[in-house]
A and B are shown apart, each in its own frame.
Chain A
C-alpha cells in the first residue's frame, strides 16, 4: 500500500483529504506543520504539501527536502492565486511539482496524486 503524507495545518481540510485518499486505497498520515513534515517524511511515497503552514513555510519544507536529498514526489496545494507567481518561485527549488489550487474536488486531488505515484 502506497503511503502519503499530508502536510496541512487546517485540521478539517487535512482530515477530508485523508478520507478522500484513504478511500482510494492509500495509507495516509497527517503532519500539521513543516517541522513535523520533515521528521515524518521518511516512510512516505508522496507528499501533499500546503504552502501556508505554521512554523516551517511550504517553501522552506521544499528547501529542506532538497538539502537532505529527499527526492519524493510532491503535490503542492495552495490557496494563493496563480497570479502571485508562487509556482515559479517553488519550481526554482524543486522543478518536478504538481500544483493544485484550492478549492479542488476529490477527483482533482486523486488525479494529481495518481499522476505522481504508481
Chain B
C-alpha cells in the first residue's frame, strides 16, 4: 500500500489552512469595511464642518451687508443733520441781516426827519421851508411803509392776517399805488406808467391788495436806475393779470427763485428790509392768486400776479 502522504492529518491541515485563510479574509473584509465606514463618517463630518463654515460665512456676509446698510443710513442721517444745521445757520444769518436792514430802514428816515425838523425851526425862507416839509413828508412815508411791512410780516408769520374780500375796481387801486410811488420814480428820473382798462373788478381785500402791489412797484423802482416802470392789467379767462415791468438791472437766473423768499436780499447795499416781496407773495396766495417773476440780467424784470375776477352782477 502506497502511503498517501499525510493521509491521516492532511485533510485536517488543509481545512485548517482554509479556515485560517477564510478568517484572515474575513478580518481583512471587516477591517476594510470598518475603514470605509470610518472614512464615510469622516467625510460626513468634513461635509458638516464645511456646511457650517459656509453658513457662518454667509452669516458673516449678511451681517457685513447689514453693517454697510447701517453705515449708509448713519451717513445719510449725518448728511441730513448737517444740511438742517446749514439751513438753520443760513436762516440765523438771514435773520440777523434782516435786523440790520430793518434798523437801517427805520433809523435813516428818522434821522432825516429829525434834521429837517431842526432846520425848519430856524428857516425863514418860504421855498426852503417847503422843501424841508416835502423832505419830511417823503421820509414819514418811507418810515410808515417800513413799519407797515414789518407789521404785515409779523402778522403773516403768526398766521394772524384776516382777509376780508370785497369787489374792488382794479384800475383805481393801481392808480393809487402809482400815485404813492410817483415821487420816488421822479427823484430817480424814471417814468412810472399805468395801462389798465376801466371796469375790471377783482375780488380782493382792498388794503392787502394795495400793499402787495405797492411792494412790487416799490421794488421795481428801487432796482431801476433809468428808463421806466410800467404797470399794466388785463383779463385772461377767469383771472386778472397785473404785471409790473421795469427796465432795471435784472436778476440773475440763479437768484430768481430767491426773490420771494423770506429776508431775500440779493444786493447787500440796496436799502430795504428784504421781506416786501415775501409779504406780497403771501397776500396774493391768500387771494387764490399766483405771483411769478421773469428777468434777464441787464434787461429788466417783470413780476406778474393773478387775481381771481369778481363775479359779474
- Please list the residues of chain A having a beta carbon within 8 angstroms of any beta carbon in chain B: 9-13, 15-17, 19-20, 23, 52-55, 57, 77, 79-81, 84, 101-107, 109
Contacts and interface: CB of A to CB of B under 8 A. Distances in A.
Nearest to B110: A103
Q: For chain B, which range describes its interface: under 10, 10 to 19, 20 to 34, or 35 or more residues?
A: 20 to 34
A20 B119 CA distance: 7
B27 interface: no
Interface string B223-248: 00000000000000000000000000
A15 B269 CA distance: 20
A79 B119 contact: no
Chain B contact residues: over half helix, strand or loop, or mixed?
helix
11 contacts: A13-B115, A16-B115, A23-B122, A54-B270, A57-B269, A79-B107, A80-B100, A102-B111, A103-B107, A103-B111, A106-B115
Contacts of B113: 103
Given A10-B271, A12-B138, A12-B139, A79 B108 contact: yes
B106 to A, nearest CB: 8
B108 to A, nearest CB: 6
Contacts of B103: 79-81
B97 to A, nearest CB: 11
A23 B119 contact: yes
Interface of B: 99-100, 103-104, 107-116, 118-119, 122, 132, 135, 138-139, 187, 269-271
A77 B112 CA distance: 13
Nearest to A77: B111
A53 B147 CA distance: 23
A91 B114 CA distance: 28
Contacts of B112: 10, 12-13, 16
Given A15-B135, A16-B135, A84-B100, A102 B108 contact: yes
A79 B107 CA distance: 6
Contacts of A109: 115
Nearest to B270: A54
Contacts of A20: 115, 118-119
